Amino acid sequence: MTLPHTGRALADAAPVPYWLDRPDRPDPLPPLTGPRTADLLVIGGGYSGLWAALLAKQADPDRDVLLVDAGTCGWAASGRNGGFCAASLTHGLANGVDRFPDEVGELERLGRENLDAIAATVAKFDIDCDFERTGELAVAVEPYQLAGLADDAELARRYGHRVRLLDRDEARAEVHSPTYLGGMFDADRVAMLDPAKLAWGLRRACLDLGVRVHEHTRVTGLRADGPALHARTAGGPDGAPGSVRARRVVLATNAFPPLLRRLRAYLVPVYDHVLMTEPLTPAQRDAIGWRNRQGLADTGNQFHYYRITSDGRILFGGYDAVYHYGNRVAPELEQREATFTALAEHFFTTFPQLADVRFSHRWGGVIDTCTRFCPFFGTAYGGRLAYAAGYTGLGVGATRFGARVLLDLLAGGETPLTGLDLVRRKPLPFPPEPVRSVGINLTRWSLARADAREGRRDLWLRTLDRLGLGFDS
């Protein structure tokens, strides 16, 4: 049953991402027209592409780097996410242990180094993105989830994480929700940040170092051109043609239809949806506590993530990962009333003391996932192009590591990164339609059913687990 105040709370929510709805957002850069050349062409101006361009230019200031994006830098997943920047490169430690048991310790070390390097880059280039190393509190909201938290804590400590289990009263003392039955606090492996400001800051850093950036420039085709690659482009509102001839190419389009046909079997775009409240009053802040500003997530299969922004709003998202038949991606899929209503109800169940709060923004966006739920890598055109994809929603931090891998792959030869199983191995492909859609939706139904049955997984989920395809949203 819909709570009576849910409709009122959503009534005036703007259907745009809060992070991008800013008067101080940078003006778009002109589209590319005519023929150009470059040492390195980066296709995609989200985190993956921006990090690749920045790291390439830092490593070799004389390298001619050109970046293009079909929209503006950070307009897609990089500017629409929750702003959780995690150290994990494997979509969580448990997933890493399951899939890369022989090297998960090394991946954890690399993940810690990667998060430290992001913090250092933010400081070096004076990127004003509200970077806060607050940690994250995972909370149990059903009794059966407490055992899972204890298991997670034991595993985390085995790999050197500084975690602490909280009982019901300790969890509620941190954040005042009647739904909390316990929690696990990870002190130093998650930071909070403003995702759009990070993307805009990386864009500015790239420009300052001499990267050429063209926005509203869509790459329409790639082909070999002797020892180089030739990219056709269409730019601006009139689709003016252009082209780039580049010695090397980074393909960083992630969830969007790939320029490489081979990637289509490995990627599924799913839509994630988010609500943002208006700024809380001092009385409302007192009612929920949350003095330490840590990120929060509950621990169901279909989980919520939430955090406080620098101006005192609450972002509340997740739960329902939605797939549309045929890998469909379209702007009209970003607004889904049923999901927004469900999220609002869950918000008010979590914080009944905020029943008079309204939402200022509601939005959705597409993320890329693969069957192992963490990034995979590869090359094409005889090693002249490198790609990364499949981050599954944890790309805010992991994309910087991914960019390092891409540049190593383009350089040729084995390095400590390219020798990793994470880099060398591919996930299992998804089946073609209509089996793909049937399987994904059956999995979503089974996950919701497991959450309603104290975590008990049905035959379908147990089969996926045995095949190494176990999934949560």
User: Per-residue pLDDT tens for 294-312?
Assistant: 999 999 888 999 999 999 9
Task: Name which residue leads in pLDDT, 445 or 328.
Answer: 328
Q: Collapsing DSSP states into helix, strand and coil, what is residue 285?
A: helix
| pTM of the entire predicted model | 0.96
* pLDDT for 473: 47
Q: In b/e form, how buried is each residue of 405-434, taking b as 16+ CB within 10 angstroms? A: bbbbbbeeeeeebbebebbeeebeebeeee
Which band of pLDDT confidence, cut at 50, 70 and 90, is reported for residue 171? very high
**In this model, does residue 182 exceed pLDDT 90?**
yes
Which band of pLDDT confidence, cut at 50, 70 and 90, is reported for residue 451? confident
**In this model, does residue 409 exceed pLDDT 70?**
yes
Phi, psi (degrees; rounded to nearest 5) at 218? -100, 130
% of the chain surpassing 70 pLDDT: 98
The residue type at 101: P
Count of beta carbons in the 10 Å neighbourhood of residue 208: 11
Tokens of 104: 């998960």
* pLDDT for 459: 85
Which band of pLDDT confidence, cut at 50, 70 and 90, is reported for residue 238? confident
Count of beta carbons in the 10 Å neighbourhood of residue 298: 24
CA distance 101 to 424: 15
Mean pLDDT of 310-336: 94
CA distance 231 to 236: 16
Q: Collapsing DSSP states into helix, strand and coil, what is residue 204?
A: helix
Which band of pLDDT confidence, cut at 50, 70 and 90, is reported for residue 4? low
**In this model, does residue 378 exceed pLDDT 90?**
yes
Mean pLDDT of 358-366: 97
**In this model, does residue 126 exceed pLDDT 90?**
yes
Of 369, 46, 22, 352, residue with least CA distance to 213: 46
Contact 51, 233 (CB under 8 A): no
Give the tens place of pLDDT for each residue, 85-118.
999 999 999 999 999 999 999 999 999 999 999 9
Which band of pLDDT confidence, cut at 50, 70 and 90, is reported for residue 347? very high
**In this model, does residue 469 exceed pLDDT 90?**
no
% of the chain surpassing 90 pLDDT: 86
Give the tens place of pLDDT for each residue, 142-160.
999 999 999 999 999 999 9
Mean pLDDT of 153-168: 96
**Cα(first)–Cα(last) distance of the chain, in Å?**
24
Of 215, 250, 249, 211, residue with least CA distance to 230: 249
Of 94, 115, 93, 90, residue with least CA distance to 376: 90
